[in-house]
């Protein structure tokens, strides 16, 4: 059955060829039984050789989830999700322990190649001397298959593991922070993730350590009808620094797939975490068929004095995106940043933004959101800035800009500003604009094709955010903006 669908998907991909990364690989899969029950949860836990506390935690979450109701959001039009009609665990069949990258399934490496993993990383993977180091913890469907540079990281004291490994190897650390930032009962999809999370990444940067390289994970949804439930936990101890890159691509599918990840970040005194995302999962076809449901809960706890978390996201994929990477700024003088570019085209729906919860004195936050709507899509910025009564001297600056391409799309801005302390300084600005005919004509008169001209102008519009991305991502992100908007003008 699966193979038949796979073949059909491949055919479709060949025919359409509009989704550059729409292909499917033939690696043998190891599926959990279809559907969701307590048995599924036990199966996943057993497959991962988890300790009892982890299984108990999952079961508690599952019981809770069964009592919850699926949320309905104002501006999202969601087809009901059949949670029984999906596989919750798919892993490549275990092979012997890998000594080096050469031993990675060549099929997987080929997949990465097709994915267009940034040149810098391909060089790293190929062992080219002098290339910038990026450690890749690759998540292929649900299980981490290759981790590079583990040794160098270990020398620095950095723990960079799949979360399954971390549960077994560093249970105390994981238990201390897991679910601390995003509690089990936080929301419907977060609770579901707690019960059935398949894999993900755990990072711990010890006190005073500046992580010697950018950490990177590629998530890729490969198996058909496999809900993807990553779990990421990054803890930056006092005075440490880490930059983490998350990139995603998924092959073409006809059926909607659910992605309900949970990302938790904890920054202690003087620590800084920079978390960058490029999300270009399959958005569905021009009629809105297929595509990923991206319901992710991302939250950072800036617990320590002077701690800082910076979220940067470039969201071009998924049929529906619902995500609000947030910062709980409880540390004195802590800093939260959110830089976002969200592109929607065709029938895509995006409702994304952030929450900056100011609890600590002198905490500051900056929000820069650039929404680009094309086709018949809807793009919503939804953001909350809250200042608690005891948080003296809080500052927030928010800038939300929307760009509309064509008259069939929608661009929405929904800011919530809630202030209980008089010493706060909150500034919010929003603008809406389109690419003017003059701009387009000017660029084209200078020799640019229409789509190039649009890409150029859009990149200019989003520049403030793109600048925040690490080099490896910036180039890819710029290309993505152009590709995502192909066919949207003219």
Partner 1 sequence: MNALALPTRRDEAWRYSDLDALATAWPAAAPELIIVRAGDSAAHVLLQDAPDDAVAIRDYRVEIAAGGSCGFHVLNIGGKLGRVTISVTLGEGAHFALHGAIIGGCEQTLEIVTTVHHAAPGATSEQVVRSVLAGRATGNYLGKIAVARDAQKTDASQSVKAMLLDRTATANAKPELEIYADDVKCAHGATVGELDKSALFYMASRGLDPATAQTLLLRAFVAGVFDGIADDAKRERFEAAALAKLEALA
Q: How far is the CB of 288 from partner 1 (least distance, A)?
A: 17
CA 78 to each of CA 67, 187, 226, 288, 429: distance values in angstroms, whole numbers, following the listed order:
21, 17, 18, 12, 30
- Measured from the CB atom, the residue of 84 and 425 that comes closer to partner 1 is 425
Closer residue to partner 1, CB minimum distance, 27 or 405 = 405
Q: Of 51 and 406, which has the nearer Cβ to partner 1? A: 406
Phi–psi pair at 69, nearest 5 degrees: -110, 140
Smaller CB separation from partner 1, 104 or 387: 387
Considering the complex, what minimum distance in angstroms separates the CB of residue 353 from partner 1? 12
Give the whole-angstrom CA distance, residue 246 versus residue 233: 13
Nearer to partner 1, 133 or 376 (CB): 376
CA distances from 50 to 42, 165, 170, 199 (A): 10, 9, 12, 12
Give me the helix-helix angle, 188-196 and 52-66, nearest 10°.
150
Please measure the distance between the N-terminal and C-terminal CA atoms of the chain and give it in whole angstroms.
41
With CA atoms as reference, report the closest residue to 21 among 349, 290, 281, 294.
281
CB of 381 to partner 1, least distance (A): 9
The residue among 403, 409, 128, 90 whose CA lies nearest residue 257 is: 90
Other C-beta atoms closer than 10 Å to the C-beta of 130 total 5
CA dihedral over 177, 180, 182, 188, signed as positive or negative? positive
Tell me whether residue 193 or residue 380 sits nearer to partner 1 (CB atom).
380
Other C-beta atoms closer than 10 Å to the C-beta of 25 total 20
Question: Which residues of this protein are in contact with partner 1, per CB under 8 A?
Answer: 74, 387, 389-390, 402, 404-434
To partner 1, the closest distance from the beta carbon of 413 in angstroms equals 4
* Shortest Å distance, C-beta 315 to partner 1: 19
Give whichever of 11 and 418 is closer to partner 1, judged by the CB atom: 418
Smallest gap from Cβ 459 to partner 1, in A, equals: 19
The least distance separating partner 1 from the CB of residue 404, rounded to whole angstroms, comes to: 4
């Amino acid at each position: 059955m699966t193979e038949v669908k796979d073949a059909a998907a491949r055919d479709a991909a060949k025919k359409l060829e509009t989704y550059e990364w729409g292909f499917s690989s033939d690696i043998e899969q190891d599926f959990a039984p279809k559907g969701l029950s307590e048995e599924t949860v036990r199966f996943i836990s057993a497959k991962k050789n988890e300790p009892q506390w982890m299984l108990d935690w999952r079961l508690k979450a599952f019981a809770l989830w069964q009592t919850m109701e699926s949320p309905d959001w104002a501006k999202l039009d969601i087809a009901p999700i059949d949670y029984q009609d999906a596989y919750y665990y798919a892993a490549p069949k275990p092979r012997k322990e890998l000594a080096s990258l050469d031993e990675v399934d060549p099929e997987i490496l080929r997949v990465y190649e097709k994915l267009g993993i940034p040149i810098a990383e391909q060089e790293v993977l190929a062992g080219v001397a002098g290339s910038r180091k990026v450690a890749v913890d690759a998540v292929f469907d649900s299980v981490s298959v290759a981790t590079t540079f583990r040794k160098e990281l270990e020398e620095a004291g950095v723990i960079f593991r799949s979360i399954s490994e971390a549960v077994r190897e560093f249970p105390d650390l994981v238990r201390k922070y897991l679910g601390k930032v995003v509690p089990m009962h936080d929301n419907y999809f977060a609770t579901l993730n707690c019960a059935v999370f398949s894999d993900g990444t755990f990072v711990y940067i010890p006190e005073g350590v500046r992580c010697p390289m950018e950490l990177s994970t590629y998530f890729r949804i490969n198996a058909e009808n496999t809900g993807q439930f990553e779990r990421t936990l990054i803890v930056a101890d006092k005075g440490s620094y880490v930059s983490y890159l998350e990139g995603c691509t998924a092959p073409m599918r006809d059926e909607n797939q659910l992605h309900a990840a949970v990302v938790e970040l904890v920054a202690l005194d003087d620590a800084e975490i920079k978390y960058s995302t490029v999300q270009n999962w399959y958005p569905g076809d021009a009629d809105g068929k297929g595509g990923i449901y991206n319901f992710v809960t991302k939250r950072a706890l800036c617990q320590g004095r002077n701690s800082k978390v910076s979220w940067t996201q470039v969201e071009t994929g998924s049929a529906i995106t619902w995500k609000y990477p947030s910062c709980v700024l409880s540390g004195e003088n802590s800093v939260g940043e959110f830089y976002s570019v969200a592109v929607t085209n065709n029938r895509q729906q995006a409702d994304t933004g952030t929450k900056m919860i100011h609890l600590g004195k002198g905490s500051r936050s900056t929000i820069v959101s650039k929404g680009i709507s094309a086709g018949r899509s809807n793009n919503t910025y939804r953001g909350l800035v809250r200042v608690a009564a005891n948080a003296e001297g809080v500052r927030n600056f928010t800038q939300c800009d929307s760009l509309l391409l064509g008259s069939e799309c929608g661009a929405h801005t929904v800011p919530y500003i809630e202030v209980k302390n008089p010493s706060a300084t909150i500034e919010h600005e929003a603008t809406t604009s389109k690419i003017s005919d003059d701009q387009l004509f000017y660029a084209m008169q200078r020799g640019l094709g229409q789509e190039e001209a649009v890409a150029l102008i859009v990149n200019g519009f989003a520049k403030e955010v793109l600048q925040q991305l690490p080099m490896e991502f910036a180039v890819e992100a710029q290309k993505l903006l152009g590709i995502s908007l192909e066919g949207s003008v003219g």
